[in-house]
Amino acid sequence: MTETETKRSANFIRHIVAEDLSNNKNNGKVATRFPPEPNGYLHIGHAKSICLNFGIAEEYQGTCNLRFDDTNPSKEEQEYIDAIKEDVRWLGFDWGAKEYYASNYFDKFYDLAVALIKQGKAYVCELNADQVREYRGTLTEAGKNSPYRDRSIEENLRLFSTMKNGEQEEGSAVLRAKIDMASPNMNMRDPTIYRIRKISHHQTGDKWCIYPMYDFAHCISDALEGITHSLCTLEFADHRPLYDWYLDQLDVGHPQQIEFSRLSLQHTIVSKRKLKLLVDKGYVDGWSDPRMPTLSGLRRRGFTPASIREFCKRIGVTKVDNSIEMAMLESCIRDDLGDNAFRVMGVLKPIKLVIENFDNDKTETLNAPNHPQNEAMGTRPLPFTREIYIDQDDFREEANRKYKRLVLGGEVRLRYGYVIKCHEAKKDENGNIVELRCTYDPETLGKKPEGRKVRGVIHWVSATESIPAEVRLYGCLFSDTTPETAANFEDSISENSLTILKDCRLESSLVNAKLAQGYQFEREGYFCLDSKYSSPEKKVFNLTVALKDTWSKSAS
């Protein structure tokens, strides 16, 4: 990491880690972990955590585990596990052999729960869910003890064993920690440690019918894996006393939990529950819909790993929740593609233009750079023929001087080509322009016409040598700036988040377009080949981002 990068990436967590190392805390070791629950696909908020955890491990020559906190099999699937691993690798991080599952420790969790019972610090409670909530109290009123709280250790051990052996029904009993029902921290009011779930687990099968709660399993997993710095978002700050309490009672090691602000990106939601609802209700085309803030959706839309990592650097790591503007994320991918995307021409709303003084059976090959500022990216051939397509928006029968494109009786230059002049616009019976008739000046290839002023430059493709394509223009899925705070986030779903253009024409070089390669359609935007619907027979391109920031204009 360069000095500049180190300064940019500096944050309070890195300061804590650096100080711990200088004091030889944890024997000079740094061990972090990225611990997703496999109950959905990763989103942009997870990218911040991934970059932070793996980044700190890399920066301080430590380790970072990938651990699946799989304690709720009713919501978990192998599909999610596979997708999570793909996303982490795509971002550029490798956990090596350090892949773990909370379910690896189910036997140990059970033994430690028994140990708490034997210490008199856990009990089996038979209150139902509604009664538990009633006994728990409120933020302003203390809770009251469960009538089962003072059972003997022997009775609790027996009942917990019947829970484990499947002798009790779901919801009939839970194992709770015995802490303090009057605590001002609601998480400390005798939280549940184990509950009964008679459901097969994707890793352990039917071995267990009781499963530990996240708070119990998470801290112990950290300790068993020798994690030194357990990094999590601010909503877990109120859970830290419980994290510490479990570890203090069980003497299995004590990682340090450190909280940082979660990522809140405007015009998006980053709740996996709500994202799953969008998928289940058909608002989007699956988890990888390019309008989704999931990493798979961003990847399908054309975002690069480098742009996501740069975004995470720019937003930084703080203890203050803030709302990040979409313009910042788009700026990161625009900067990356500006340097690395191949330039091509695509006509999204084509209208035929006939060059009457060009031979009907002739094809001339023009030459164009793949990137105007990077000669190393080479050049590409542009077939020039009698019939071409230009964009409908690039022609008007009449226009004022501010209009710098083709008008009836006016001249423009074709990008990388000749100057043409339009003298006729043919229309159908409804008055729609269907064809333009023009002439070209063969002396203007790479030269200015003598004694004439050309209005501007327009893009084009050969009518006979271009390829047909479908182009999908994506916008924000939500019209509201902060849909997650809305009373009903579904009401904020935009009706204009996707426009599909089916009759586009693209230059012939895109017949060999590659997935994960960005392309700038000149004067249109940055696009990528769609990984789901595109095929050799049918090219489908997705809009990644516009050429220029449109957010500042929309806000003014």
Q: 327 and 423: one domain? A: no
- Where residue 79 sits, what CATH number does that domain have? 3.40.50.620
Same domain, yes or no: 94 and 201: yes
pLDDT tens-digit series, residues 274-321: 999 999 999 999 999 999 999 999 999 999 999 999 999 999 999 988
Catalytic one of 8, 25, 108, 262: 262
CB 509 within 8 A of CB 380: yes
Residue 355: in which H helix or E strand, if any?
strand 350-355
pLDDT 10s digits, 241-277: 999 999 999 999 999 999 999 999 999 999 999 999 9
**Are 224 and 253 contacting, i.e. CB atoms less than 8 angstroms apart?**
yes
Looking at the fold, whether 107 and 221 belong to one and the same domain comes out as: yes
Residue 476 included in any domain: yes
Average pLDDT over residues 459-477: 97
Select from 459, 485, 509 the last residue of a domain: 459
Is position 262 annotated as part of the catalytic site? Answer: yes
Domain end point (choices 237, 260, 283) = 260
Is residue 267 in some structural domain? Answer: no
Any idea what the CATH number is for the domain that residue 490 is in? Answer: 2.40.240.10
The DSSP secondary structure of 44-99, one letter per residue, reads HHHHHHHHHHHHHHHHTT-EEEEEE----TTS--HHHHHHHHHHHHHHT---TT-E
Q: Which of 136, 272, 299, 413 is catalytic?
A: 272
551: confidence class by pLDDT, cuts 50, 70, 90: low
Average pLDDT on 462-484 reads 95
Residues 444-470: what's their mean pLDDT?
A: 93
309 is catalytic: no
- Mark whether 374 and 439 lie in a shared domain: yes
Is the pLDDT at 555 greater than 60? The verdict is no
Asked whether residue 404 falls in the same domain as residue 256, the answer is no
Look up the domain containing 315 and give its range: 272-343+469-555
Region 410-434 average pLDDT = 95
pLDDT band of residue 324 (cuts 50, 70, 90) is very high
Residue 347 has pLDDT above 60, yes or no: yes
109 and 205 fall within a common domain:
yes
User: Residue 556 has what pLDDT?
Assistant: 38
Same domain, 169 and 224: yes
In the chain, count of helices (H) and strands (E)?
A: 14, 29
Are residue 156 and residue 40 in the same domain, yes or no?
yes
Q: What is the mean pLDDT of the chain?
A: 94
Across 520-548, average pLDDT? 96
Examine residue 383 and state whether it is found in any structural domain, yes or no.
yes
Query: Is there a domain that residue 533 lies in?
Result: yes
Q: Are residues 244 and 381 in the same domain?
A: no
Provide the whole-model pTM: 0.93
Look at residue 265 and tell me if it is in a domain. no
Question: Residue 340: is its pLDDT beyond 70?
Answer: yes
- When pLDDT is averaged across residues 411-432 and rounded to a whole number, the result is 95
| Same domain, yes or no: 482 and 440 | no
pLDDT (tens digit per residue) in 62-86: 999 999 999 999 999 999 999 999 9
Work out the percent of the chain whose per-residue pLDDT is above 70.
97
Q: What is the pLDDT of residue 1?
A: 42
Count of domains in the chain?
Answer: 3
- Residue 173 in any domain: the answer is yes
The answer to whether residue 436 sits within a structural domain is yes
Task: Tell me, rounded to whole angstroms, the distance of Cα 426 from its chain centroid.
Answer: 47
Averaged pLDDT, 30-45? 97
Token digits of residue 9: 């990436």
333 and 384: one domain?
Answer: no
Among the options 37, 330, 465, 522, which is catalytic? 37
Q: Residue 5: pLDDT above 50? A: no
Supply the pLDDT for residue 485. 84
What pLDDT score was predicted for residue 399? Answer: 86
Residues 509 and 500: their CA atoms lie apart, in Å, by 22
The whole-number pLDDT of residue 402 equals: 87
Q: What would the mean pLDDT of 204-222 be, rounded to a whole number?
A: 97
User: How far does the chain reach from its first CA to its final CA, in angstroms?
Assistant: 39
> Does residue 131 surpass a pLDDT of 70?
yes
| Tokens 């226009």 -> residue | 399
Assess if residue 365 is contained within a domain: yes
Residues with Cβ within 8 Å of residue 92, at least 6 apart in sequence: 305, 309
Indicate the residue type of 383.
Answer: P
Please tell me whether residues 282 and 402 are part of one structural domain: no
- Residue where a domain terminates, one of 239, 260, 281: 260
pLDDT at 552: 60
| 272 labelled catalytic | yes
Bridge partner list, 361: none
Q: Is the pLDDT of residue 462 over 60?
A: yes
Helices 326-340 and 305-315, packing angle to 10 deg:
140
